[in-house]
Amino acid sequence: MTLKTLDGALALLTYFTVRQPTWGVRELAKHSGVHHAVVHRVLATFAANGFLVQDAVSGKYSLGLRLFELGQVVRKTFSPAEVVQPVLEELAEQSGETVFLSWLDGHEGLCVGMVQSQHQLRFSIELGQRFPLHAGAHAKVILAFQDDAFRARVLENARDQAQPSLAAPDPAVIEPQLAEIRTQGWAHTRGEAAASVAGLALPLWSRDHTEVVGSLAIAGPQQRLNEESVPRMLDALREASRRLEEVVGFGR
């Protein structure tokens, strides 16, 4: 197997997400632009090795237990639950809002930790959910600290993949916002990632403080996460992020 073939096979695997956990061969071929015969061989190979499973009735594929097993290895080495989860729970209790931890993965963000608010009216995000980096405090605070080429690529991708629910970003508008985030060191947004929802986030730096590798965010209704609440929330966020950045898994 050549590296190009392996790269293409792994790319197909990334289409299995929280929002789209199952795929049929022709469905995935149409969506990915890869010939259905190639998709069939790749998915069958992954299934034969336990990375995918095929439903006997529908014929569709979903992620297999081998990936779950590997995920447990990543979870233990990347973010020890005994350290990360208590920090998130404490921050959620202090803020009263949903708290989530995100990781930079390629040119997207990935939610890897979360504690829901106890309020009936609350912001919700799922573990394993991916999100674009150009909208919302949790995303922008990651994007702001990437280099020029990375930011340009993210904005270009966002324009190419613009969805009706999330307008394509205008670099002339977003770059000054990102510059402000770099200056102040945190992000506060309102109604960007979801209507009527505000977010407050800090970047998570690698242990040597050379790159931003993720974010820690609080999200909730705009009427609760308003300008007056920002200073108090920031103090809690800073203490939580300091503790998280000490975790071995955040070093690079």
Q: Which domains does the chain have, with CATH numbers?
A: 3-68 (1.10.10.10), 79-250 (3.30.450.40)
**In this prediction, what percent of the chain has a pLDDT beyond 90?**
46
Local confidence band at 229 (pLDDT 50, 70, 90 cut-offs): confident
Residue 172: predicted pLDDT: 87
Residue 8: other Cβ atoms inside 10 A: 15
Give the Cα separation of 134 and 169 in Å (integer): 7
Residue 251: predicted pLDDT: 44
Pairing between β-strand 108-115 and β-strand 130-131 as defined by DSSP bridges: antiparallel
12: burial class by Cβ within 10 Å (0-12, 13-18, 19+)?
A: buried
pLDDT greater than 90 at residue 2 = no
Instruction: Work out the average pLDDT over 142-155.
Output: 93
pLDDT greater than 90 at residue 81 = no
Instruction: Work out the average pLDDT over 88-114.
Output: 90
Give the Cα separation of 153 and 151 in Å (integer): 5
Average pLDDT taken over every residue of the chain: 85
Letter string b/e over residues 140-175, b meaning 16 or more CB atoms within 10 A of that residue's CB: bbbbbbbeeeebeebbeebeeeeeeebeebeeeebb
Over its C-alpha atoms, the chain yields an Rg (Å, rounded) of 19
Instruction: Work out the average pLDDT over 125-140.
Output: 87
Residue 5: predicted pLDDT: 82
Give the Cα separation of 100 and 212 in Å (integer): 16
- H or E element at residue 99: strand 98-105
Q: Are 11 and 122 in contact (CB under 8 A)?
A: no
Instruction: Work out the average pLDDT over 239-248.
Output: 77
pLDDT greater than 50 at residue 248 = no
Beta bridge pairs of residue 216 = 101, 202
**In this prediction, what percent of the chain has a pLDDT beyond 70?**
87
Give the Cα separation of 84 and 46 in Å (integer): 32
Give the Cα separation of 90 and 71 in Å (integer): 25
Give the Cα separation of 223 and 179 in Å (integer): 26
Phi, psi of 123 (to 5 degrees): -85, 140
pLDDT tens-digit series, residues 154-191: 988 887 776 555 566 788 899 999 999 999 999 999 88
Instruction: Work out the average pLDDT over 207-235.
Output: 87
Q: Which residue has the higher pLDDT, 245 or 39?
A: 39
